[in-house]
Amino acid sequence: MVYGLAAMAEKKVIHRDFKLANILIHFPTLRRIDYMAPDFNVKDFLKAVKVEGCEGVTASTITAMEIKIADMGFAKKLEENQLAQTSLGTPLNMAPEVLFHRKYDTKADVWSLGCVFYEMLTGFTPFTGVSKQNLA
């Protein structure tokens, strides 16, 4: 996720709706016949996933996994020294400058990334509210 957002920022592209629901995990080696099998257990599959860089893991035991950033519907390419001002995205993950209709750049996506990490670690969004007014 970090590398993906960094590549976007390098090209001056803002996602503007970065949230957990827009993160896809793809296992290119997992075939349809495997996960459609009656005895396939996603829990067991995920337990067997090995992450590169872990001690004792060899290249032959690594399960390929790709993280993809989805839903680029609100994405915007900024020109040099340009800032965005449109308040778009999911309020629970919006940076304060987006929420309060101030000008912003790719750093607003970094705030949203922090919200995603928080939710991944705790299972809860870092902020609560049902509208932008509740979050202000």
Tens digit of pLDDT at every position of the chain (136 positions) = 999 999 999 999 999 999 999 999 888 878 888 888 899 888 888 777 666 555 555 544 556 778 999 999 999 999 999 999 999 988 899 999 999 999 999 999 999 999 999 999 999 999 887 667 777 6
Closest CA to 76 of 66, 68, 86: 86
Is 17 among the catalytic positions? yes
Q: Looking at the 3D structure of the chain, how many domains does it have? A: 1
CATH number at residue 118: 1.10.510.10
Residue 92 lies in a domain: yes
In a domain, 15, yes or no: yes
The answer to whether the CB of 1 falls within 8 A of the CB of 116 is yes
Q: How far, CA to CA in Å, does 96 sit from each of 38, 71, 87, 102, 113? A: 47, 21, 10, 8, 14
Q: Is residue 36 part of a domain?
A: no
> Choosing from 17, 39, 44, 71, which is the catalytic residue?
17
60: left (phi over 0), alpha (psi -120 to 50) or beta: alpha
